[in-house]
Amino acid sequence: MKTAILGASKGMGRALARVRAERGDDLVLLGRDIEDLERSAADLRVRGRGAVTVIACDLESPDGFPAVIEALFAGGIRLDNLVITAAHFGTQDELEADPVRARRLLTANLANTVELCERARVALLAQGGGTLCVFSSVAGDRGRKPVGLYGASKAGLSHYLEALDHKWRAAGLITICVKPGFVKTGMTAGLKPPPFAGEPDAVARQVSAAIDRGTPLIYTPAIWQLVMLVIRHLPRFVMRRISF
């Protein structure tokens, strides 16, 4: 099985790459730092039995997406899974204080991610199907004070991924939307973790299993599904008073 992962040298992408390597997948590592990808590839070649290659891909440079898709599908070799974990993050205070950074985040997390997914959709359907697994976030489930802008980007992404699944699953495109809660990665460094914060390796195993099953939506750690069920049903006057 061949799996490509954007964001494979850091955080959840790196953890998921290790899980897929250990089960024997051929891997394609995507990211903007080739040297970092090569270091990750060397580690994965030791851990796994499959081939590991690297391709440069910058989520902020959509002009490069056509070449990335061409490289992924070169030679007519089937790509079974494309996983997109890469994203920008910033706290609400940071983004409100820096409109340029906020625009970069919104563009990368929503517009550019959707464009890459659209290009991948066409290529996956052309080969007869495959799995597109994209990391969104529980932050997109409800407008909340600490993640208003970041959550807006993820809300739009989640909406798109659900529509993609509704329209194309019967044609062979399996779309998986991953909604992590708080996971202890570099993205959340410096933030106070909640009592039910997830560990990257455990979350990666859950996501890998969802890819194998073709599960269209996964909250991870699983407790976040219950947490967000409650949050989605709180009245607005309560949401205005709490800091969550």
Which has the minimum average pLDDT: 32-36, 104-108, 187-191?
Answer: 187-191
In whole angstroms, what is the distance from residue 186 CA to residue 135 CA? 15
Residue 205: pLDDT band by 50, 70, 90 thresholds?
very high
Q: With 70 as the cut, is the pLDDT of residue 187 above it?
A: no
Residue 186: pLDDT band by 50, 70, 90 thresholds?
low
More confident residue, 190 or 88: 88
Largest CA distance in the chain: 57
The DSSP line for 36-88 is HHHHHHHHHHHH-SS-EEEEE--TT-GGGHHHHHHHHTGGG----EEEE----
* 76: alpha, beta or left? (left if phi > 0; alpha if psi -120 to 50): left
User: What is the residue extent of each domain of the chain?
Assistant: 2-239
In whole angstroms, what is the distance from residue 50 CA to residue 45 CA? 7
- Judged by DSSP in three states, 158 sits in helix
- Judged by DSSP in three states, 234 sits in coil
Side-chain-facing half-sphere of 157: CA atoms under 13 Å: 36
Q: With 90 as the cut, is the pLDDT of residue 189 above it?
A: no
CATH class of 2-239: alpha beta
Task: Report strand pairing: 81-84 vs 52-56.
Answer: unpaired
